[in-house]
Structure 1
Amino acid sequence: MAQVNGDDKTGLAVGCRVRTVGDDPATGEIVEDFGDLAGTPVVVDAQNTVRSRRWAVALDDGQLVFLDDDQLEPLS
């Protein structure tokens, strides 16, 4: 991946424990940093294309989610 050390300004990096920001917060661990690839269009199927996210996060409930900096906060 383009940047595996994270971003010093946000405190986010692979291995960092985080909480998601939003209506249904969850905790987990960042497992991948897609760095410069974030924002790249991803073709889901013939009708749907989405924007890729910066981080892959393994949530404590077993889900894998893909989020950007503004959707996460580091846990101390």
Structure 2
Amino acid sequence: MTDKSGKSKDVIAVGSCVRITVSDSDAGGSVTCTGVVIEDYEDMVIDRGSVGRDWAPVQRWAIALDDGRLIFANDEDLAATD
């Protein structure tokens, strides 16, 4: 989806249904899951270099997966679903 200027428009928001691929140690690889975005932490996301570490980064979105798990992800990890 694009806006009038032709730039990509954010289609993911709290309440959006999304698809994400997550690691699954039981399956020995990864699996695609669906869920609902329940929180947006955009104001809390910081540049990893500004804190002097690259571990435990803040992820933008909190997603309640359909299987009951809660995960956190960034824009590039998610795809909107219908």
TM-score normalised over the length of structure 1: 0.71
Which structure has the larger Rg?
Answer: 2
Bigger relative CO (Cα 8 Å, ≥ 6 apart): 1
- Secondary structure of the 1:36 match is helix
Amino acid at match of 2:45: A
- 2:15 matched residue in structure 1: 15
How do residues 36-75 of structure 1 correspond to structure 2 at under 5 angstroms? Answer: 36-39=43-46, 49-75=55-81
CA distance in 2, matches of 1:66, 1:20: 10
What fraction of aligned residue pairs are identical, expressed as a percent? 37
Deviations 1:28-73 (A, max 9, x none): 00000001212367xxxxxxx5101000000000000000001100
Structure with greater helix share of residues: 2
Quote the RMSD (CA, aligned, Å): 2.0
* Deviant stretches of 4+, over 6 Å: none
